[in-house]
Structure formats: C-alpha cells, structure tokens
C-alpha cells in the first residue's frame, strides 16, 4: 500500500507553487502530486464553464489520488484549502488527513457573500480589460502579501514570473465560479467533518489566524499550528517550518532537499 498526498495551490498559483516543499514530502515515501486547479497553470487557457464548477473540480481532485488502500492526504493553501475543505465535506470516507494552510470555510453572512461576489466580478472584469501585468501589480500590492517583500529577490522574481504566465480569462473564470462568495459557506458543516485536520497559519497573518482559531474550535479532530515570522503563504516564506509541521502531521518526518 502506498500513501497518496495531493497538493492544491492558491489563486494565481499553479502546481509549481509547491516546489519549495514538494521534495520534502516526496523524499520520505509515498506518492505526492500537485495539480493545477481550473484556470491556473497548464489549465490557464480553459474556456468551458463546466470545467470550473465545484463538482468537476472535486472530481479532478479525487482522480489525482493514486493510492489504493494507502493513506489519502489532501493539502490545500488559501483557495486550494477552501476546495480541500469542500472535498472533505463531500467525501468523508475517502480521506485520512487534511491540511488547511491559510484557508477559510467561506462567508456565512449572505450580505458579505453578495459583496464579495460583486468585488470578485469587478476584479475579473479588470483582469480581462487591463491584462495580466496590471493585475499582478495590483495583486502583489495587497496587504495580505506584504510579508513576502522580505523574501530574497530571486524568489520574488520567480513568483512574479509564474503569475505573469497566467491567462486573464482563466483567472477571471476561476474568480467567478470558485471565488469565496460563490462557493457555499461550510461554517455550519465543520462539526461534521471528522477527518483529522491540521490548520496551518502564519503568525503574521492576523486575519487567517483568527479564522483558523475559529475553525479548530468547530472541527472535531483539528489541530492549530502557528508558524512564527510567516505571513499568508507559509510554504513559501518558511518552507522548513511548513515541511516539519505537515510531515509530522502526516506521519512521515520530512527532510528538505536544498540542492
């Protein structure tokens, strides 16, 4: 039997976003796969609206598990964490471990949801109107990513280059179909998600630290791990700490390959 771990990236990311930590998990055994979510990476040019639906997205996640009889682990960051949580909710018997990095169950308040849908629609329109470079400038300037300014220049340049490869149409469709306001809120469903879960948050990410604490209070078998000196993207800002926490939780002590 072979354990299988599937990694889900965040908005504007791709499967390559996991490169800083992927080897750490793969080097200790089991199958590790990082997939491109609809509108991202190799799927950036997709145009069929059906490919962006939550149901189709979750089917793609399910198909990515390669293990038969082994432990099935699902790891999601930000948007990917939200999708991972929906997978756990819909497939309670098909998952053994769940890792949620800087993730949210969504918005429970209907007014907040409507406001978020409208904001995402404006953002999608701007993407299609102004192009990817202006959007990336705007995205990287968000306070949520302020801590990434401390990353080495080479890492920031590589991150920006990957973002610029995205097609505006793909990201816009992802916003309109898989955005926080569009997907159902799972706050009320959390007490019924019994898969062991690790909620991983950067200590400098105040908003998601509060969300993480609330989630752990509702999920029956969840653990909160706060990584000091890290913001929203712990796997990028503190890869060693990320690998240690996730590897220990999945039951496979990690070792980072720095070569």
Residue ranges per structural domain of the chain: 4-107+184-250
The answer to whether 218 touches 191, Cβ cutoff 8 Å, is yes
Q: Are 62 and 91 in contact (CB under 8 A)?
A: yes
Q: Please list the alpha-helical segments (H only) found in 10-107.
A: 19-26, 54-64, 79-90
Candidates 255, 247, 234; CA nearest to 97 is 247
Among 62, 53, 60, 57, smallest CA distance to 93 is for 62
- The rounded distance, in Å, linking the Cα atoms of 174 and 153 is 29
Which phi and psi angles does 227 have, rounded to 5°?
-100, 115
- Give the span between the Cα atoms of 57 and 53, in whole angstroms: 6
Look up residue 78 and give its two tokens: 């930000």
**Any idea which residue has 């080479």 for tokens?**
154
Each of the 259 residues of the chain gets a pLDDT tens digit; together they read 678 999 999 999 999 999 999 888 876 568 899 999 999 999 998 877 778 899 999 999 999 997 666 889 999 999 999 999 999 999 989 999 999 999 999 999 999 999 999 999 999 999 999 999 999 999 999 999 999 999 999 999 999 999 999 999 999 999 999 999 999 999 999 999 999 999 999 999 999 999 999 999 999 999 999 999 999 999 999 999 999 999 999 985 444 443 3
Place of tokens 């429970």: 108
> Considering the domain 4-107+184-250 in this protein, what is its CATH number?
3.40.50.1820
Q: Which residues pair with 33 in a beta bridge?
A: 6
CA 225 to CA 215: how far, in whole Å? Answer: 12
């Amino acid at each position: 039997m072979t354990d299988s771990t599937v990694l889900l990236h965040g908005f504007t990311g791709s499967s390559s976003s996991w490169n800083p930590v992927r080897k750490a998990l793969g080097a200790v055994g089991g199958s590790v796969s990082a997939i491109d979510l609809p509108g991202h990476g190799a799927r950036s040019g997709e145009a069929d609206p059906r490919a962006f639906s939550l149901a189709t997205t979750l089917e793609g996640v399910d198909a990515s598990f390669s293990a038969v009889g082994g432990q099935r682990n699902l790891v999601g960051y930000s948007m990917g964490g939200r999708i991972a949580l929906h997978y756990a909710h819909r497939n309670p018997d098909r998952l053994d471990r769940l890792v949620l990095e800087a993730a949210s169950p969504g918005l429970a308040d209907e007014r907040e949801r409507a406001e978020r849908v409208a904001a995402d629609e404006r953002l999608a329109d701007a993407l299609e109107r102004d192009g990817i470079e202006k959007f990336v400038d705007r995205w990287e300037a968000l306070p949520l990513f302020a801590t990434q300014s401390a990353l080495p220049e080479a890492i920031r340049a590589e991150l920006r280059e990957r973002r610029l490869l995205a097609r505006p149409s793909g990201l816009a469709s992802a916003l309109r179909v898989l955005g926080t306001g569009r997907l159902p809120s799972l706050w009320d469903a959390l007490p019924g998600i019994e898969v062991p879960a690790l909620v991983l948050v950067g200590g400098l990410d105040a908003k998601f630290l509060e969300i993480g604490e609330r989630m752990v209070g509702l999920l029956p078998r969840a653990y909160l791990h706060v990584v000091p000196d890290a913001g929203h993207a712990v796997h990028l800002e503190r890869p060693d700490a990320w690998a240690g926490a996730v590897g220990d939780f999945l039951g496979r002590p990690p070792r980072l390959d720095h070569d």
